[in-house]
Structure 1
Amino acid sequence: MEQSGGEAAAKRAKGPDHDAGAGGEDRLSALPDDILVLILLRLCIEDAARTSVLSRRWRRIWTLLPELRFGIIQDPYLLRESLSASDVPLRLLRVCFPDASAQSLAVWLPAAVRRVSGELVFFNLVTGIATGNEEDERGTFELPYFKKATSICLDLGFLGLSMPPAGVFARLTDLDLTDVRFHSPRELEDAVSSLRCPNLQKLAIRNTKGLDSINIDSESLQLLELRNLRGVLQVTVLAPALKGFTLWHCFILDQNQPVVKISAPQLKLLNWTDSYDPSSVHLSTMERLQTLSSFFCVYGKHGFPLNHACLALLPRFKTIKCLILTLCYLTEIDNLDYLMEDMTMLPDITSLKLIVIAKGHAIGASAFHVLRLCSGIKRLALVSYQFNLKKHMSMIVDNKSIELFHGKLYLDNKIRISSLVSVLEQTVCSSGCICDQPTNWKTEDLSLNCLQDIEIVGFGALEHEVAFVKRLLNWVTVLKMMTVTFRHSMTESKVKEFFQMCQSFSRPGLCMKFYIYQNLDKVSYAPED
């Protein structure tokens, strides 16, 4: 059987040390090095390193690990010492550093360059809110030339970043840069070009300053994500292999005219949540496009830029397989206009994913309006978020991922995050709120005669949610599958009550599945008799 790099390296170590102890047979220490390495991989790196004091036999076992996941580490010299303790190639190095400076990165990154042959992940956990607007005193560093790395993910807390002027990242397939002050946009463009990154497949650039233009020319790139690029004036992408492209809040942040040119004949997914003007945005034919994602605010003032962009973009595509439409409610809507009536047409689609950021408001009116415009769909996914974002000072994350709106924060081994993070707080709208209007969804008939598959995610069994699902089940005629995933906060009694209500709509050929969360694990639900 083929062995991983860490296991192969472990076999090069010496056999059991018979001087390990005289108190009896030590069967654990007698195990082969590759087995001991697999055991230590289940520990956090701090605990794994502590095993070195057990005996001479264990002294260097932890240095054979092919993966190093550091929790919060504050001493860059200690990190450099840990990395220098071995020559074993690392398929994963993950580091979390509070309030890191450019100088502190320069201490340990050269040691990381020597060992990383797989994935490098670095989080700069900035105390307070890092915006990049203030004069940054933590400096700028040059990214070393990681010639063996396959994936680099850097969340820099708005440290300054200069890309290496030379060198080919021959093995790099994924590059993810978040909260970065770029030294020069030309450096980035050169570094991610086909000449410098011939195998780059995924590129994500989020929350940046210093990029007034983005010019991507890559023959290998398949996924490109651009989010919150402050000050950007122009985006040009020439990527013949590109399959997915996301443009999210780049031009709209500074109310800049969107100047975009995309040449991506293989594109299958387009996620556009930004300003759009057909006179300055030039998209290629996109004959292979299958999925389009856009954003619309349910209440607001007429002429809202993102709504205008959505209404201008959608007519460009007459027929498309899947539409992902995000409907967003503001928390306070009493003095705002109902904007859904501005949406009068949708592309001809077979699948609709409707993401509703409801913040406690009733979703029946807006969802009904959208369904009337695409009554021929075969599949509907309804994802409901009934919360606001709330700031919280400290959180324990135990081998889980916190999924936020458009991305995930991955942290391991019970890391305590002392910096500000966002967590979810469920909210309920005020009594007498106008969100339930217009009420035609409660009385009008709608024929969804092609709809065969319904998936509902984030269901809370609130009164207005249950009422909408009842109407939905009355509108369908050929439904074959219905899947419901309840919200984390659901009580057993609420789940059981909704389950029984759905069973009243059961008929031959219809399969219903229900899922709840136990802690953070999604499990199938069936009521006890």
Structure 2
Amino acid sequence: MAEAGGISLLPLDIIIKILSHHLQFKDVVRTSAVAPSWRHLWTLVPSLRLCCHRDRLGDTLDFSTSSDVCSWVERVNRLISSSRVPLVDFELTLTVKARNFGAQLSPLLLSLFELLLQKGGGLETLYLHFPCQDVAINLPYFHALKVLDLNFCHVILPPGFRGFNRLTTLKMHLVQISNDDLNLLIRQSCNLTTLFVFDCVPSTNPLSVNISLPLLRHLYFIIDEYVEKVLVISAPCLEEAHFTDTWTDGYNLKSGRLILELVTSVPMVSSLNLSFDVRKYFSLVALPTFPRLRCLKFPLYINIKDKRTYDALVWLLRSMPFLEELHLRLFVYSSRAGRAAILQRELLVKKHDDFSCLNQSLKTVRIRSEHLGVVMTSITVVKFFMLNAKVLKLMKIEYCRGSEIEPRMVEELQESELTSSDAEVIIKGLSERDYLFGG
């Protein structure tokens, strides 16, 4: 009780902020037992975070019957009605998957939204996570909404949808939505600074998305078989872009065209993260120059017998004259290296004097190898940067811990030419010890 008394001495607005900070609502309600003055304090908390797990909802329900769903919604209605302030944050996470779950819950959610609107409609954050995509969400107009995070649901925009003109963050993960509604939602949210589109499934036509957002800074888009086209038409403030290819049938000309069109539509980005094998796409279209790019992250799939691996690396670096930081994840197709393959590998490690970033700006290279019976293959990439990066400050190579690696790998690197006199080379994860040289 002494501790409760100490907390009670804080200003009311500070106490409310503490109770609002990432607590499940049932825990907030339990604070009513702290002291008599706290009995109704939970009704002043503007955040409602509810999580229903498979084995419990709050304390008891498990959604095994339709009556459980109705009872649960009635409880939520009572909680919202009991609040004495307009709700600012509403988060609903359900992990229960029951028969006809979506058909039962969809109309009840609409009544919840109507009640939230009656409470003032000042909702700023709406987070919904359901266990299946058959939960239909008819999005009402919340005039103050800033963050909309939707997971595993079917989104339907109402007729005459005006958009959320204060929305800054839009995240959609495994959301079913029509192509027209997705484009309308993006287009009408002109103040978006963050847009995440993860594995969205079109309810009608394939997705064809044109992004024109004047304030957009962060873009994450997954390209899969449901996407017909996606282009960044205008995003002058874009700082970070992350593109992923998840085609289930592997590489084909369509996926290659989509990926390259998307990458070439963001030449002014400053940080680019590519989660796909660029070696598959590099010969299709010439990349533009990326004059603002400072950080690049991508996986490199190495085949020791295939020179195209290094051609792809060279192809990317030539288009990024002011690159400062490079993150590579190495994956290897073949671990066997005959004498001819080793000689070819050595021919690839040579001086290149016409790389702007290697001569003037590239200071950090981080390489992580996911498979390591292939040490001598990955050395080629390491030695390439040791030889060519003239202003390099740090090169960090991380291998899977516990892998057995021949000492000759470290010896070969230590004996290799290191062009930058300031470079520090760190090799981590080798037989429980780290190797450091240069600097």
| Category of TM-score, reference length = shorter chain | 0.5 to 0.7
Once the 2 structures are TM-superposed, how far is the Cα of residue 59 of structure 1 from its aligned partner?
1.7
Aligned to 1:479: 391
CA deviation map 1:20-60 (0-9, x unaligned)? x8xx8963354233443354336543333222233322222
For 2:82, what is the secondary structure of its paired residue?
A: coil
Work out which of the residue numbers 58, 74, 77 in structure 1 matches 2:74: 77
Aligned to 1:28: 6
Q: Quick one: percent identity of the two aligned structures?
A: 16
Aligned to 2:69: none
Tell me the matched-pair count: 385
* Superposition pairs of residues 63-462 of structure 1, within 5 angstroms: 63-72=43-52, 74=57, 75-98=72-95, 99=97, 101-113=105-117, 114=119, 116-126=122-132, 136=134, 138=135, 140-155=136-151, 157-159=152-154, 161-163=156-158, 165=160, 169-182=164-177, 194=188, 197=189, 199-206=191-198, 207-212=200-205, 231-232=206-207, 234-236=208-210, 248-249=222-223, 252-253=225-226, 263-264=233-234, 266=236, 304-307=253-256, 327-328=276-277, 342=283, 346-348=287-289, 353=296, 355-356=298-299, 358=301, 366-373=308-315, 377=321, 379=323, 381-384=326-329, 432=336, 440-449=344-353, 450=356, 451=358, 452-456=362-366, 458-460=368-370, 462=372
Aligned-partner residue type, residue 482 of structure 1: L
CA deviation map 1:289-333 (0-9, x unaligned)? xxxxx9799xx88x643335567888999999887665529xxxx
Work out which of the residue numbers 24, 27, 34 in structure 2 matches 1:47: 27
Aligned-partner residue type, residue 94 of structure 2: F
C-alpha contact 2:296 2:327 (8 A) present in aligned 1 = yes
Residues 264 and 314 (structure 1), Cα distance of their counterparts in 2 relative to 1, 3 Å cut: closer
Aligned to 1:276: none
More strand as a share of residues: 1
Distance in 2 (alpha carbons) for counterparts of 1:42 and 1:473? 45
Once the 2 structures are TM-superposed, how far is the Cα of residue 176 of structure 1 from its aligned partner?
3.1
Residues 312 and 121 (structure 1), Cα distance of their counterparts in 2 relative to 1, 3 Å cut: closer
Once the 2 structures are TM-superposed, how far is the Cα of residue 477 of structure 1 from its aligned partner?
5.0
Distance in 2 (alpha carbons) for counterparts of 1:211 and 1:56? 56
With structure 1 as the length reference, what TM-score do the two structures score?
0.55
Residues 467 and 430 (structure 1), Cα distance of their counterparts in 2 relative to 1, 3 Å cut: closer
C-alpha contact 2:368 2:397 (8 A) present in aligned 1 = yes
Aligned-partner residue type, residue 179 of structure 1: L
Once the 2 structures are TM-superposed, how far is the Cα of residue 429 of structure 1 from its aligned partner?
6.1
**Residue ranges of structure 2 left out of the alignment (5+ in a row):** 58-71
Q: CA RMSD in A?
A: 5.3
Distance in 2 (alpha carbons) for counterparts of 1:171 and 1:26? 38
Once the 2 structures are TM-superposed, how far is the Cα of residue 89 of structure 1 from its aligned partner?
4.2
CA deviation map 1:216-256 (0-9, x unaligned)? xxxxxxxxxxxxxxx23x54556566677776536x548x6
C-alpha contact 1:93 1:116 (8 A) present in aligned 2 = no
Residues 340 and 526 (structure 1), Cα distance of their counterparts in 2 relative to 1, 3 Å cut: same
Residues 248 and 93 (structure 1), Cα distance of their counterparts in 2 relative to 1, 3 Å cut: same
Residues 201 and 313 (structure 1), Cα distance of their counterparts in 2 relative to 1, 3 Å cut: closer
**Residue ranges of structure 1 left out of the alignment (5+ in a row):** 1-20, 131-135, 213-230, 274-293, 330-337, 387-427, 517-524
Work out which of the residue numbers 473, 485, 490 in structure 1 matches 2:401: 490
Residues 49 and 190 (structure 1), Cα distance of their counterparts in 2 relative to 1, 3 Å cut: same
C-alpha contact 2:193 2:217 (8 A) present in aligned 1 = no
